[in-house]
Amino acid sequence: MPIVEKNGLRFFSFESFPEDEVVQGIYSRQGGVSPRPWASLNLGGLNGDSRENVIENRRRIFESVDRPVESLFDVWQVHSVDVICTDQPRPLDTPHRKADAIATDHAEITLFMRFADCVPVFFYEPEKKVVAMAHAGWQGTVKNIVAQTVRAMQARYACKVENIYAGIGPSIGPDHYEVGVDVADRIKAVLEERTGEVLRSQHGRFKLDLWKTNQILLEKAGVRHIEIAGICTACHIEDWYSHRAEQGNTGRFGAILALKADGNR
């Protein structure tokens, strides 16, 4: 089942990612210690919640999948197209590097990112045993962060694009994501003849389908295996943080992705 419950936490997992090879989870907002308006499993450290709450919430997430917090590798997400490939965790007392996609082929590393409407995109290449994760808001989407991630997996790990599995996680859906002409024009420049599949015009504004846009960009990059969660964060603020639906007064949900060590499969 895509929604898993463990240790009082609920998280989404992609069915196409093999359970015996990959540790994964995109966590709902339930089961943490943060008070309102961040209630309760907030992983965002820059929105007013206390550091102690965020650290405890992070501990609970890692504990739920039996991963040590010290295995974490995360970045300062800045809506870029920068990809960091890592062979070691980020020491918890060191500053974050800026990037919006991360990748590894080391089973002792747990990739970790934070979201609240932007699209979590997971990647897994089973032959080379590589996992990656990308953060795709509208800026990252039009800059084609997903294709940049694929290229990094190919360049660093010799991944075969036809072997890559991609998952598009819970994020704001096409019925709730309104954008202006400037964003619409940038989408048109990227998708050209396929723009009509992702943009709907409405009284001088547009509704944008980030799920379909990233699916098309993944397909253009050569990815054949794509799973879409189809869960709208703005529709379900009881389960997910939504920057749009909650007018910015909200938290961030966490996402983790890691390889299972051979002995744990």
pLDDT at 26 over 60: yes
Average pLDDT along the chain: 96
Q: What is the pLDDT of residue 126?
A: 98
Nearest Cα to Cα of residue 170 among 93, 108, 96, 229:
229
Q: How large is the average pLDDT for residues 191-201?
A: 96
Q: How large is the average pLDDT for residues 112-120?
A: 98
pLDDT at 13 over 60: yes
pLDDT at 263 over 60: no
Q: What is the pLDDT of residue 197?
A: 97
pLDDT tens string 120-150: 999 999 999 999 999 999 999 999 999 999 9
Instruction: For residue 60, give Cα distances in angstroms to 20, 53, 68, 124, 238.
Output: 22, 11, 10, 24, 19
pLDDT tens string 161-190: 999 999 999 999 999 999 999 999 999 999
Give the integer Cα–Cα distance in Å for 239 and 30.
7
Give the integer Cα–Cα distance in Å for 233 and 240.
5
Do residues 123 and 131 lie in contact, with contact meaning Cβ atoms separated by under 8 Å? yes
pLDDT above 90 as % of the chain: 92
Alpha-helix runs per DSSP H in 221-263? none
pLDDT tens string 198-225: 999 978 789 999 999 999 999 999 999 9
pLDDT band at 62 (very low <50, low <70, confident <90, very high): very high
User: Is the pTM of the predicted complex or chain greater than 0.85?
Assistant: yes
pLDDT at 157 over 70: yes
Q: How large is the average pLDDT for residues 26-34?
A: 98
- What domains appear along the chain, each with residue ranges and CATH number? 3-171+225-264 (3.60.140.10)
| Helix, strand, or coil (residue 92) | coil
Q: What one-character DSSP code corresponds to residue 181?
A: H
pLDDT at 262 over 80: no
